[in-house]
Structure 1
Amino acid sequence: MAHGSTGTGVRAVCAAAAVVLLGAGCTVQPAGAESRPVPSAPPSVPPSAAPSVTDTTPAASPTPPPSASASPAEPEERKGPEPSATPTPPAAPPPILAEGARGEKVRELQARLRQAGHFDLVPTGYYGTITAASVSAFRQRVGLPAGGQVTDATWNALTARTRTPTRQELYPSTTRPPADPDPRCLTGRVLCISKESRTLTWMIDGRVLSAMDVRFGSELTPTREGAFRVTFKSRHHHSTLYDTPMPYAMFFSGGQAVHYSADFAANGYDGASHGCVNVRDEARIAALFDQVRPGDKVIVH
């Protein structure tokens, strides 16, 4: 019994010694084993500081921010311009001619519009409201939008439908185009005078030799209408009834005559005659005076 107790006690002592050695960081070496240093155990961690299960899982490395040199997902050089929500239409080209313009191009425009039937005046070289209205009417006729400006398309359409104007068409002798001649003017030597167009046309056998602007008498002293003949001529005539000069007078009905009027030349259609046919272009009436003979017809219509 004493021997057995002793063995049991020895084992208990050895076990206790082993516990002490483990706590000191040593291990029990078996007998005869090579002695080598044993690394010390890491310091014990209090239970409260022990990592949880989630703490023991290695954390994912944070994704570094893209550097300036990093290539974007889509290379910049491959990107096109940002589309605009409402694309800006291209600017319309400036017009060739518009209101306020002056010159030979305007004169040609007016002559061509007259050929096309959209301008009932003679070319003046000034682009005013009447010319603008004529351009707009022509544009609508050829299928272009209405408008008083001459664009490339307008000019091309107009030149395709007209011919190059003659000098007489560009520089007519009257402010308004002479009216179509009365049938009585188509034969013989005739001073064909139109109250509608306010023009006098000198014609021989239906051929127009010259034309000029004229004005007529007032409502109180109207110019007579009808068929007459030149009764006599007076180059430096002076009216005794009205005490006024009547140069280059060609009488055709009593005291009524075709003659030059300085007042008409100065004031235009603002005035009126006492029944005579006034001419305002002195050079033209002087040339006409030399051609007309007594007995030539005078048609006032």
Structure 2
Amino acid sequence: MRPGDSGPAVRALQARLRQIGWFDGDVTDYYGTRTTAAVRGFQTKRGLAATGLLDEPTWQRLVAMTHPPTTDELNNVVPAPQPLSWDVDSRCLTGFVICISKTTRSLTVVRDGTARYAMDVRFGSEMEPTREGVFHITWKKVDVVSNLYHTPMPYSMFFSGGQAIHYSSNFARLGYNGSSHGCVNVRDWDGMVRLYNETPVGTTVVIHW
């Protein structure tokens, strides 16, 4: 696809780009300047030819990093907020905090003491435990492969040495029948992408029982 094209395929392209933070605002059926800039930015970041045109290598890379857009995503429908209960820790009540409970095996995004959304998480084993305490996101990267275990760690947000919050296909497939090597595993792809895009470096992470 290229500038001037229109139709549902353009809308789907914009929705996928929006999932990973490259397209802002409502999606449309028109491939204009916003789409061109988003595609070019994505290509530059991934080391592809930065033409602003959607070629096959760009499309395949984008598909690998995103999911098929939902009906709501294609129609610019923002999900209504739902009341959310969470495992309260006093250290999570001020500012923007990623509050992680080992008791309930949940990650809750908290802003000024109000829970915004939550996800299931999995931790390390007794041999490779996930550290507890108050941390901060030190760096983040979408495409990460573990140097030690050679496994993908998409949308990694590092908070303590090599320990990170990241999506885990193994957790998505096996659930709690496995464990991480110390990281906080997330099995909700959409939730992890959202969290990654909303979380700046320096964000507080609290891991508690």
**Which of the five TM-score ranges fits, normalised by the shorter chain?**
0.5 to 0.7
Partner SS state of residue 258, structure 1: strand
- Is 1:178 aligned to 2:86, yes or no? yes
Identity over the aligned pairs, expressed in percent?
55
Normalised TM-score (structure 1):
0.41
Q: Which residue of 1 aligns with 2:154?
A: 247
Structure 1 residue runs of 4 or more that deviate by more than 2 Å after TM superposition: 166-169
Map of 1:200-239 to 2, 5 A cutoff?
A: 200-239=107-146
- Is 1:259 aligned to 2:176, yes or no? no
Q: Is the 8 A contact 2:86 2:115 kept in 1?
A: no
Higher relative contact order (CA 8 A, sep 6+): 2
Map of 1:50-199 to 2, 5 A cutoff?
A: 168=82, 178-179=86-87, 181-199=88-106
**Equivalences, count:** 129
Q: Tell me the CA shift for residue 214 of structure 1.
A: 0.2
Task: Give the aligned residue type for 1:168.
Answer: Q
Q: Distance in 1 between matches of 2:153 and 2:207?
A: 19
Superposition RMSD in Å: 1.6
The gaps in structure 2 that reach 5 residues or longer are 1-79
Which string of whole-angstrom CA distances, capped at 9 and with x for unpartnered residues, describes residues 166-212 of structure 1? 9836xx7xxxx631x21010001111000000000011111212110
The gaps in structure 1 that reach 5 residues or longer are 1-165
Normalised TM-score (structure 2):
0.59
Partner SS state of residue 267, structure 1: helix
Q: Distance in 2 between matches of 1:167 and 1:255?
A: 33
Highest CA radius of gyration, 1 or 2? 1
Partner SS state of residue 211, structure 1: strand
Q: Distance in 2 between matches of 1:262 and 1:283?
A: 13
Out of 278, 284, 287, the position equivalent to 2:191 is: 284
Q: Distance in 2 between matches of 1:167 and 1:207?
A: 12
Map of 1:5-24 to 2, 5 A cutoff?
A: none
Q: Distance in 1 between matches of 2:116 and 2:156?
A: 19
Q: Is the 8 A contact 2:93 2:112 kept in 1?
A: yes
Map of 1:264-279 to 2, 5 A cutoff?
A: 264-279=171-186
Q: Distance in 2 between matches of 1:167 and 1:298?
A: 23
Which string of whole-angstrom CA distances, capped at 9 and with x for unpartnered residues, describes residues 13-53 of structure 1? xxxxxxxxxxxxxxxxxxxxxxxxxxxxxxxxxxxxxxxxx
Partner SS state of residue 117, structure 2: strand
Task: Give the aligned residue type for 1:193.
Answer: I
Q: Which residue of 2 aligns with 1:293?
A: 200
